[in-house]
Amino acid sequence: MAASRRVDAFFVLGGSIQREIYVAQLAQQYPEIPILISQGSEEPGVLRLFRREQALIEQVWLEKCDKFTFDNFYC
């Protein structure tokens, strides 16, 4: 069952602030799990969002090198 397996990281495709809010809430519950946000909101906005949710930002990586979904996996 997939839900019972350990999660190595949260990967968030950009394009929806709702996804970023959701992962910030997950970060509160699982502060040890790294988060990769691909082409999401601009950095100041993401940092404010994580602070608002009282979630740690040390595990968050904002990836800005892709142009298409396929590039997410390449980068």
pLDDT tens, position by position, 1-23: 456 778 899 988 877 889 999 99
Tell me how far apart the alpha carbons of residues 5 and 66 are, in angstroms, rounded to a whole number: 29
What are the angstrom distances between the C-alpha of 1 and each of 5, 10, 11, 41?
7, 18, 20, 33
**Which pair of structure tokens corresponds to residue 51?**
């602070």
| Residue 28 belongs to a domain | yes
Instruction: Please give the pLDDT value at position 1.
Output: 46
Give the domain range for residue 41.
8-68
Structural domain tally of the chain? 1
For residue 74, tell me if it sits in a domain. no
Whether 53 is covered by a domain: the verdict is yes
Confirm if 53 and 23 have CB atoms less than 8 A apart.
no
- Tell me whether residue 73 is in a domain: no
The verdict on residue 2 lying in a domain is: no
Alpha carbon distance 70, 34 (integer Å)? 21
| Whether this model's pTM surpasses 0.95 | no
User: Does residue 3 form part of some domain?
Assistant: no
Asked whether residue 15 is domain-assigned, the answer is yes
